[in-house]
Amino acid sequence: MADGVKQKRARAADPAGSTLTMSDIARLAKVSKPTVSRVLNGSPLVTAETRDRVLEVARANGYAVNRNAQKLRQSRANTVTVVLDFGSHRAGAIGDPFIFELLAGVSEALSIRDQDLLLSPPGLSDARGFQDLYRARATDGFIILGQGTRHVLLTSLAKAGLPLVVWGAVDPGGPYCAVGSDNLAGGRLAGERFLARGAKRWLFVGNIDHAEIDLRFKGLQQAARDSGQDIVIDHLAIDSMAYALTFQRAADYIRDHARPDAVFAFSDTAAMAVIGAFRAAGHQTPQDYALVGYNNIPPAAHFTPGITTIEQETGIAGAILVEKLMQLIDGTRPKSVMLPTRLIVRDT
Q: What is the percent of the chain with per-residue pLDDT over 70, rounded to a whole number?
A: 87
Average pLDDT over residues 150-155: 92
Give the separation between CA 343 and CA 309, rounded to whole angstroms.
Answer: 6
**pLDDT computed for residue 121 by the predictor:** 67
DSSP string, 13-67: H-TTSPPP-HHHHHHHHTS-HHHHHHHHTT-SSS-HHHHHHHHHHHHHTT----H
**pLDDT computed for residue 67 by the predictor:** 57
Who's near 141: CB < 8 A, 6+ residues apart? 80, 81, 134, 162, 163, 164, 165, 325, 328, 329
**pLDDT computed for residue 173 by the predictor:** 84
**pLDDT computed for residue 239 by the predictor:** 86
Higher local confidence (pLDDT), 136 or 212: 212
Higher local confidence (pLDDT), 78 or 11: 78
Average pLDDT over residues 129-135: 91
**pLDDT computed for residue 323 by the predictor:** 96
Q: What is the percent of the chain with per-residue pLDDT over 90, rounded to a whole number?
A: 61
- Residue 63 contacts residue 20 (beta carbons within 8 Å): yes
**pLDDT computed for residue 7 by the predictor:** 38
The answer, yes or no, to whether the previous bond of 122 is cis (omega within 30 of 0) is no
4 pLDDT more than 50: no
Most confident range (mean pLDDT) of 61-75, 143-157, 162-176, 249-263 is 249-263
Chain Cα centroid distance, residue 121: 15
Who's near 142: CB < 8 A, 6+ residues apart? 80, 81, 82, 83, 130, 134, 157, 162, 163, 164, 165, 325
